[in-house]
């Protein structure tokens, strides 16, 4: 290790104060609850010292006559101990082509990078991981699933268009994605950003793992009730002979406008919750016996009917029940990101350059430590055009200020300027 030139250290200081604790401690294996419970001292100097003294052994023969002359007993002096405070540092540095550092907290055995850091997959939350995430940014098959589990390889390709986030897809009542069998489980959450065409009538399918029909075996998540354009959001479930349907009030989904629609489904309890733009619009009963391991279609029912007309983006299937807060945050993060989170204004302070001389006649220039990334430029005159030359001396950090020391210039007039590099 080496110190920068002209660094002033405590080794050279003449005014270092003694740091000696005013409490005398006793080192003993016996528990000392009172001493353990009181506040400890804080080191205020490089060398922090304290004293210890052992208690004298018990003297059972220490009986004295009343009125007897007292004689001085031998006294054991205290032992003076100390510790030296040490500055420790560990500065990591990586090359430009390896410009990130992974840090782990709470598990020193965790040394392997997560899969999504190297395979391009989406981050999977531990509590409710995603089964499928489609960003819909491809121009044709296969449509990538960011969880890498269910890429859509068959169907009829939609047309690439402007989405709510970057690219999305335009559906015209015939395109759809067949994402294959997905085991939904007893609790799951379906969602997608949709923009329903104002000319769309009848059912507009979003997710389905079954054919049309009130009691048909499967699940269907869609906009508009049968043979209407009422703008309701619905989820229908059936076991092949009986069905159940949950719907929001009409007009929950307006047309020609982007909306995040979400269905949080609990098959085991027979309930579901429907959200539009982060707000719960309906909650009620569904079937507890509809199939959950069928082939899944996006943008139509599995029998080819009721395909979607409009734009869609960011389609997802998530394990578990997304909370109302999660659903709201998912909408807010996209719809109004600047309102959901924002950054304070960075206040730039004008640096103040100070010039002086040291005892050796050298020129000392310094400025506040919070002004980083500056350099000293010099010129011999200010007649246009002024030629400013960067001083190559590297600044050093002394007493919370940046400092550059320059040799005297034989009485020549010289101008100095502090500029951002």
Measured distance CA(262)–CA(278) in Å, rounded: 8
Tens-place pLDDT, residues 9-49: 777 777 777 777 776 666 554 566 665 666 666 777 778 88
- Look at residue 35 in the predicted model and tell me its pLDDT: 59
What confidence score (pLDDT) does residue 128 get?
65
Could you give the CA distance from residue 258 to residue 312 in angstroms, rounded to a whole number?
9
**pLDDT, position 347:** 67
- pLDDT at 407 (0 to 100): 84
> Would you state the pLDDT for residue 140?
95
Whole-number pLDDT of residue 312: 98
> Residue 363: its pLDDT value, please?
87
Report the predicted TM-score, pTM, of the whole model to 2 decimal places: 0.57
What is the reported pLDDT for 340?
Answer: 66
The pLDDT of residue 105: 52
Q: Which residues of the chain have pLDDT under 70?
A: 1-3, 23-41, 94-128, 340-344, 346-348, 410
Amino acid 109: pLDDT: 64
Domains of the chain: 1-57+75-91 (no CATH), 122-340 (2.60.120.200), 354-420 (2.40.30)
Handedness of CA 358, 360, 364, 368 (dihedral sign): negative
Residue 283 contacts residue 354 (beta carbons within 8 Å): no
Distance CA 75, CA 235 (A): 90
Instruction: Give pLDDT, residue 233.
Output: 98
Judge contact between 286 and 235, C-beta under 8 A: yes
Taking CA 332 as the corner, what is the angle to CA 205 and CA 269, rounded to the nearest 5 degrees? 55
């Amino acid at each position: 290790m080496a110190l920068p030139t002209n660094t002033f250290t405590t080794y050279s200081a003449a005014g270092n104060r003694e740091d000696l604790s005013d409490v005398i401690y006793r080192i003993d294996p016996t528990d000392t609850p009172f001493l353990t419970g009181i506040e400890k001292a804080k080191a205020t100097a490089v060398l922090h010292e304290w004293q210890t003294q052992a208690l004298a052994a018990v003297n059972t023969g220490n009986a004295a006559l009343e009125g007897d002359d007292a004689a001085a007993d031998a006294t054991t002096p205290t032992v003076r101990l100390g510790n030296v405070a040490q500055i420790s540092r560990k500065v990591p540095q990586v090359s430009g082509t390896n410009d990130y550092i992974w840090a782990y907290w709470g598990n020193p055995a965790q040394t392997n990078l997560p899969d999504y850091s190297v395979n391009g997959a989406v981050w999977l939350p531990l509590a409710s991981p995603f089964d499928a995430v489609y960003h819909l940014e491809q121009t044709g098959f296969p449509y990538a699933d960011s969880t890498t589990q269910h890429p859509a390889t068959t169907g009829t390709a939609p047309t690439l268009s402007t989405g709510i986030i970057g690219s999305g897809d335009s559906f015209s009542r015939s395109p759809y994605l067949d994402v294959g069998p997905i085991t939904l489980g007893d609790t799951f959450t379906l969602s997608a950003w949709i923009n329903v065409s104002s000319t769309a009538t009848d059912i507009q399918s979003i997710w389905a793992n079954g054919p049309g029909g009130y009691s048909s075996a499967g699940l269907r998540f869609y906009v508009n009730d049968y043979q209407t354009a009422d703008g309701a959001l619905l989820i229908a479930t059936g076991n092949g002979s009986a069905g159940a349907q949950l719907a929001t009030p009409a007009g929950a989904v307006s047309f020609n406008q982007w909306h995040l629609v979400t269905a949080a489904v609990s098959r085991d309890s027979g309930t579901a919750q429907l959200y539009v733009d982060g707000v719960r619009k309906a909650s009620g009963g569904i079937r507890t016996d509809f199939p959950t391991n069928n082939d899944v279609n996006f943008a139509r029912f599995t029998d080819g009917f009721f395909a979607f007309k409009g734009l869609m983006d960011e389609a997802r299937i998530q394990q578990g029940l997304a909370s109302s807060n999660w659903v709201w945050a998912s909408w807010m993060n996209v719809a109004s990101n600047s309102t959901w989170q924002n950054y304070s204004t960075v206040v730039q302070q004008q640096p103040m350059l100070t010039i002086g001389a040291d005892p050796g006649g050298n020129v000392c220039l310094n400025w506040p430590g919070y002004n980083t990334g500056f350099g000293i430029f010099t010129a011999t005159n200010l007649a246009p055009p002024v030629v400013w030359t960067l001083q190559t001396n590297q600044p050093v950090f002394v007493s919370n200020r940046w400092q550059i020391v320059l040799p005297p210039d034989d009485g020549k007039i010289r101008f100095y300027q502090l500029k951002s590099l």
